[in-house]
Amino acid sequence: MQREVGSLPLAPGLRARLAAAGFQTAQELLETGPCGLSKEIGISKEEALEALQLVRQECHGDAARTAGGLGTTRKFTALELLEEEQAQGFIITFCSALDTMLGGGVQLTKITEICGAPGVGKTQLCMQLAVDVQIPECFGGVAGEAVFIDTEGSFMVDRVVDIAAACVHHCQLIAEAQQEEDHLKALETFSLESILSHIYYFRCRDYIELLAQVYLLPEFLSEHSKVRLVVIDGIAFPFRHDFEDLSLRTRLLNGLAQQLIIIANDHKAAVVLTNQMTTRIGQSQSTLVPALGESWGHAATVRLIFHWDNSQRLATLYKSPSQKEATIPYHITPHGFRDVQPPAVTPNAQGTEMNPRKRPRREEEKQ
- Identify which of residues 220 and 318 has a Cβ nearer to other proteins in the complex: 220
The least CB distance from residue 333 to other proteins, in Å, is 15
- Identify which of residues 64 and 117 has a Cβ nearer to other proteins in the complex: 117
Strands 106-107 and 90-91: antiparallel
Interface residues toward other proteins, by CB under 8 A: 9-14, 54, 117-119, 130, 148, 152-154, 157-158, 160-161, 193, 195-209, 211-213, 215-216, 219-220, 234, 237-238, 240-242, 248, 251-252, 255, 276-279, 281, 285, 354, 356-357
- What is the spatial distance between Cα 367 and Cα 347, in angstroms, rounded to a whole number? 10
56: left (phi over 0), alpha (psi -120 to 50) or beta: alpha
- Identify which of residues 54 and 314 has a Cβ nearer to other proteins in the complex: 54
The least CB distance from residue 318 to other proteins, in Å, is 18
- Identify which of residues 99 and 150 has a Cβ nearer to other proteins in the complex: 150
The least CB distance from residue 258 to other proteins, in Å, is 11
Vertex 345 angle, CA 341 and 347, to 5°: 55
Inter-residue contact 303 to 319 (CB < 8 Å): yes
User: How does DSSP assign 38-107, residue by residue?
Assistant: HHHHT--HHHHHHHHHHHHHHHHHHHHHHTT-SSSS----HHHHHHHHHHS-EE--S-HHHHHHHTSSEE
- Identify which of residues 181 and 219 has a Cβ nearer to other proteins in the complex: 219
- What is the spatial distance between Cα 37 and Cα 48, in angstroms, rounded to a whole number? 6
**Neighbouring residues of 242: CB distance < 8 A, sequence distance ≥ 6:** none
Which helix (H) or strand (E) segment holds residue 197: the answer is helix 192-197
Rg (CA), the chain: 26
User: How does DSSP assign 256-280, residue by residue?
Assistant: HHHHHHHHHHHTT-EEEEEE-EEEE
Phi, psi of 188 (to 5 degrees): -60, -40
The least CB distance from residue 76 to other proteins, in Å, is 27
The least CB distance from residue 225 to other proteins, in Å, is 16
- Identify which of residues 79 and 281 has a Cβ nearer to other proteins in the complex: 281
The least CB distance from residue 315 to other proteins, in Å, is 18
The least CB distance from residue 326 to other proteins, in Å, is 24
- What is the spatial distance between Cα 265 and Cα 169, in angstroms, rounded to a whole number? 33
**Neighbouring residues of 83: CB distance < 8 A, sequence distance ≥ 6:** none
- Identify which of residues 97 and 289 has a Cβ nearer to other proteins in the complex: 289
- Identify which of residues 48 and 101 has a Cβ nearer to other proteins in the complex: 48
The least CB distance from residue 83 to other proteins, in Å, is 33
